[in-house]
């Protein structure tokens, strides 16, 4: 039985002038859906999208002028990466969804082809890209493993939020970014909500994130997580130069 996508649409939330958060809807398709590209919403470096494959489907792409990171959100696939002598082959994905275990991540250098062959349950992958010409090796990491310093130009981490729909919990996590940031937010029951303050100099916007919202924050902003209602998951991505 294949996995079903956990969303019907994605709300991309951003604040360009720190007035009211602005949003746009991205309707997913089977295969790859681009969510954020450079030149939009104050973002200059990061690309972000979601790849959804049905059981035993395939997807082929090339990294071109970017480094690509593939983060398995749910399901499993075989990943074939090839670039002359720089090749990697392995299994990506060890969890059914983001609430059961840690992510497997693959890092793919620039101008490298890669092919995803979905397993019997299908696969959902977050695809992150950043401009890079570094001569790094292709890496396929197991769940919980991280790349060594200098091996990647993407900073990727996951965060879980505990609670339930009727319990409010404090999350003291504060991040002074200095770099543009993208965060995918999900809730187990799809009815949860998380609240953030996004600040630049003396101006602050309060943002409420719901299931499958994507928060997009340009450079030189500070993000403060205030509260979360419901069991939640966050995938954070930043450039790392």
**Eight-class DSSP state of 164:** B
Q: Choose among 169, 139, 167: nearest CA to 154.
A: 139
Domain-located, residue 215: yes
What the block records as the tokens of 24 is: 């746009």
> What digits encode the pLDDT tens for the residues 60-77?
999 999 999 999 999 999
Q: Give the Cα separation of 98 and 190 in Å (integer).
A: 13
Q: Choose among 173, 146, 147: nearest CA to 161.
A: 173
Q: Choose among 11, 71, 67: nearest CA to 36.
A: 11
Q: Which domain holds residue 153?
A: 29-239
- Computed over every residue of the chain, the mean pLDDT equals 82
Domain-located, residue 95: yes
Domain-located, residue 2: no
* pLDDT, average across residues 217-229: 83
Domain-located, residue 56: yes
Domain-located, residue 16: no
Q: What is the pTM of this model?
A: 0.87
What is the number of domains present in the chain?
Answer: 1
Domain-located, residue 209: yes
Look at 31-40, 89-98, 124-133 and tell me which has the smallest mean pLDDT.
31-40
String of DSSP letters for 119-160: EEEEEEEEEEEEE----PPPEEPPTT--PPTTS-SEEEEEEE
Domain-located, residue 104: yes
Q: Give the Cα separation of 139 and 222 in Å (integer).
A: 31
For residue 147, pLDDT beyond 80: yes
Domain-located, residue 219: yes
User: For position 101, which CATH number holds?
Assistant: 2.60.120.10
Q: For the chain, what is the total number of helices (H) and then of strands (E)?
A: 0, 19
Alpha helices in the chain (DSSP H): none
């Amino acid at each position: 039985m294949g996995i079903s996508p956990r969303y019907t649409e994605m709300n991309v939330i951003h604040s360009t002038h720190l007035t009211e958060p602005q949003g746009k809807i991205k309707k997913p398709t089977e295969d790859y859906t681009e969510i954020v590209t450079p030149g939009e919403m104050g973002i200059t470096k990061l690309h972000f999208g979601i790849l959804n494959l049905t059981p035993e489907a395939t997807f082929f792409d090339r990294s071109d002028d970017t480094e690509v990171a593939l983060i398995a959100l749910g399901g499993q696939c075989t990943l074939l990466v090839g670039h002359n002598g720089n090749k990697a082959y392995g299994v990506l994905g060890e969890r059914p969804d983001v609430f059961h275990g840690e992510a497997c991540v693959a890092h793919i250098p620039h101008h490298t082809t890669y092919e995803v062959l979905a397993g019997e349950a299908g696969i959902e992958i977050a695809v992150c890209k950043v401009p890079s010409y570094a001569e790094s090796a292709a890496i396929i990491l197991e769940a919980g493993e991280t790349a060594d310093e200098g091996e990647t130009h993407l900073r990727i981490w996951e965060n879980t939020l505990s609670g339930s729909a009727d319990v409010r919990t404090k999350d003291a996590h504060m991040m002074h970014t200095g770099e543009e940031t993208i965060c995918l937010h999900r809730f187990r029951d799809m009815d949860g909500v998380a609240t953030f303050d996004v600040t630049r100099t003396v101006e602050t916007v309060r943002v409420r994130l719901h299931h499958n919202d994507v928060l997009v924050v340009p450079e030189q902003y500070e993000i403060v997580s205030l509260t979360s209602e419901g069991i939640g998951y966050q995938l954070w991505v930043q450039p790392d130069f």
